[in-house]
Amino acid sequence: MTAALAGRRLLVSAGPTFEDIDPVRFIGNRSSGKMGFAVADAAARRGAEVLLVAGPVHLATPAGVQRVDVRSAEQMRAAVLAALPVDAYIGAAAVADWRPRAIAPNKMKKTAGVDTLALELVRTPDILAEVAAHAARPALVVGFAAETEDVERYARGKLAAKQLDLIAANRVGVAGAGFESDDNLLTVFGRDGLARELGPAPKIQLADALLDLIAERLS
Ligand code: CTP
């Protein structure tokens, strides 16, 4: 029996962000958006009103989900904040931490004899931390942590530092899990002491298991 989410408003971010360098180049990452889209899909199936803010991905919009497409971290921030208030925010997007200080208006050309290029990067806003500290803070704020090592320590650190209710951590850089995979293995840590392994399983199944934890805490 899956816990219902009828009448709840859930906001999900998914996918990477692309930070433009010039009109033809950008800094991106390997997020496919599959995990966030699976969460949006599963939440809509449970009767939630679902708003999905998606970075550049090649995925179809799940049935019954309201989708806004964005490109950069700054655009994602604006779309997420505009969607508040919601009952829960699930930040599954792999938001770029850095963007070029300026976007060159024209394609950057090579110069004969110049072999290096220094790009100055500046921090992007931390959307998850901002939502968690917002005056219209959702009852539940859920983050993701993609780590290549020390998964539990880093995930618990982010849970505390960003004032989250739950964080779903996964190991990236291993086969059968992470960004491009259809399957994943999540460890969920909660502000309430929860430490629960989910999977390994297809992302759609993990999304359902994660929604059980969310629905329990919303009810
Ligand atoms: N996140 C965000 N805004 C950012 C960066 C990350 O909302 N500018 C959110 C992601 O959606 C995810 C979580 O924060 O839910 C990831 O935490 P973060 O500390 O940003 O992870 P990393 O970027 O991997 O941090 P680090 O490089 O320190 O490991």
Q: 217 is written with which tokens?
A: 């805490």
What would the pLDDT profile of 79-126 be if each residue is shown by its tens digit? 999 999 999 999 999 999 999 999 999 999 999 999 999 999 999 999
Residue 210 lies in a domain: yes
Residue 105 lies in a domain: no
Residue 188 lies in a domain: yes
Q: 205 is written with which tokens?
A: 């199944």
Size of the chain, expressed as the number of residues it contains: 219
Q: 12 is written with which tokens?
A: 């999900």
Ligand 1: nearest atom to the Cα of 123: 8
CA-closest candidate to residue 165, choices 192, 146, 184:
192
- Taking residues 157-184, what's their average pLDDT? 85
Average pLDDT, the chain: 94
Q: pLDDT at residue 176 above 70?
A: no
The response to whether residue 170 sits with its C-beta less than 6 Å from ligand 1 reads no
Q: How far apart are CA 131 and CA 121, in angstroms?
A: 24
Question: Which range of residues forms the domain containing residue 71?
Answer: 9-97+121-218
Q: 175 is written with which tokens?
A: 């086969």
The response to whether residue 72 sits with its C-beta less than 6 Å from ligand 1 reads no
Residue 109: predicted pLDDT:
95
Q: How many domains does the chain have?
A: 1
Q: What is the number of alpha carbons within 13 Å of residue 183 lying toward its C-beta?
A: 8
Q: The pTM is what? A: 0.95
Residue 42 lies in a domain: yes
Q: pLDDT at residue 211 above 60?
A: yes
CA-closest candidate to residue 16, choices 66, 88, 75, 63:
75
At 8, the pLDDT band (50, 70, 90 cuts) reads very high
What would the pLDDT profile of 40-57 be if each residue is shown by its tens digit? 999 999 999 999 999 999
What is the separation, in whole angstroms, between the first and last Cα of the chain?
15
Q: Which residue has the higher pLDDT, 189 or 170?
A: 189
Residue 179: predicted pLDDT:
67
Residue 182: predicted pLDDT:
79
Q: Mark whether 106 is an active-site residue.
A: no
Shortest-distance Cα residue to atom 12 of ligand 1: 144
Q: What is the CATH number of the domain that holds 83?
A: 3.40.50.10300
At 184, the pLDDT band (50, 70, 90 cuts) reads confident
Provide CB contacts within 8 A for 197, sequence distance 6+: 185, 186, 187, 188
At 178, the pLDDT band (50, 70, 90 cuts) reads low
By CB atoms closer than 10 A (0-12, 13-18, 19+), residue 84 is middle
